[in-house]
Amino acid sequence: MKKLILDVDTGVDDAQAIMMALAAPDVEILGITCSHGNTTLDNACKNTLRVLKACNRLDIPVYRGCLEPLLGRKHHAGDFHGKDGLGDTPDPDAPGLELLQKEKAAKAIVQFVNQNPGEVTLVATAPLTNLALAVKLNPGFTKKLKALYIMGGNMESRGNTTVCGEFNFVADPEAAYIVLERYLCPTYIATWEFSCRNSLPWAFCDTWLKQGTDKSRFMEKIYAHTRKMVQTERYQKELVSGPGFNTCDTYATAAAIEDTLVTESEEVAVTVELDGTHTRGMMVLDYMGLLKKKHKVFIMKRVDLEKFKQLLINALK
């Protein structure tokens, strides 16, 4: 069994990623840690519990993490996923925050990894605040990580939040910088441009949501608001490769689940720009070797789209 920790800021995209991981037969989710990001921390926690309830998996422990970035001002995704992050489709019977673990997210991450050395893969689809705090608490634990998969950053300075910045990195640039400096385990990054270039046809999305299961009906309901947003002309123009169904967070999760999913990647040293009027939070790729960094990350370029589709289909069965 692959042992995963999911670090999320649960909006609709994280919900899709969580459900994909839950459906994988050879995956054990040790815990889910929540962060500020798409919505407020409390909403992210409530949404995570709600997704687990929809999948009948409230046995998985959920941990409250950081409610704000290390230094900068808060960024939320506005109404992109609805004010509550889950499509503004409230459930009167949703699980309450009393189900959260008493342990905090950063400490839980460290403990899971130390208890399972060399076995745990950490999948981060949120601002990286919890991960940065974890390595500050215990600098040595990252040596025991099997791998780190990140949805965030960009490889061509194309932004989706600022001119040159992707949301997760812009929401906490200092945390992203710390993680890319201090996590020296095998690291795989699904950037904004990568997810755009591997987007799927909207016809597939229709098929995906019409499976006639409780999970597909749940996803269709919570995704309706976001779908209207992403199908606007303005947003579709941002998608680098043209219109399509782009479920960003699931790419990093899918790659962590399926070893053969990524068909093309490149290995390069990276860092994060912390200054600059337009470039703060931008991921910088060091093709010239000027950073003198020994640790390099794998930047995903292409995936097997048929395998990716199947993972999405399985998530809603």
Coil, strand or helix at 32? strand
Strands (E), the chain: 2-8, 27-34, 62-64, 120-124, 147-151, 187-190, 262-272, 283-286, 297-303
Q: What is the pLDDT of residues 15-31, one digit of tens each?
A: 999 999 999 999 999 99
Q: Give residues with Cβ within 8 angstroms of 134, minimum separation 6.
A: 105, 106, 107, 109, 110, 141
Domains of the chain: 2-315 (3.90.245.10)
pLDDT for the residue 212: 97
C-alpha to C-alpha distance for 154 and 165, rounded to whole angstroms: 7
**Of 30-34, 98-102, 163-167, where does mean pLDDT reach its minimum?**
163-167
9 is catalytic: yes
Q: What is the pLDDT of residues 112-138, one digit of tens each?
A: 999 999 999 999 999 999 999 999 999
The mean pLDDT of 288-313, rounded to a whole number, is: 97
Strand 62-64 versus strand 27-34 pairing type? parallel
pLDDT for the residue 242: 61
What average pLDDT does the chain have?
A: 94
Place of tokens 């995570």: 48
Choose the catalytic residue: 7, 9, 14, 84: 9
DSSP for residue 143: G
Side-chain-facing half-sphere of 99: CA atoms under 13 Å: 18
The mean pLDDT of 270-293, rounded to a whole number, is: 96
Q: Give residues with Cβ within 8 angstroms of 42, minimum separation 6.
A: 97
C-alpha to C-alpha distance for 49 and 26, rounded to whole angstroms: 22
Q: Tell me the pTM.
A: 0.96
C-alpha to C-alpha distance for 253 and 16, rounded to whole angstroms: 10
C-alpha to C-alpha distance for 125 and 255, rounded to whole angstroms: 12
The mean pLDDT of 144-171, rounded to a whole number, is: 94
pLDDT for the residue 72: 74
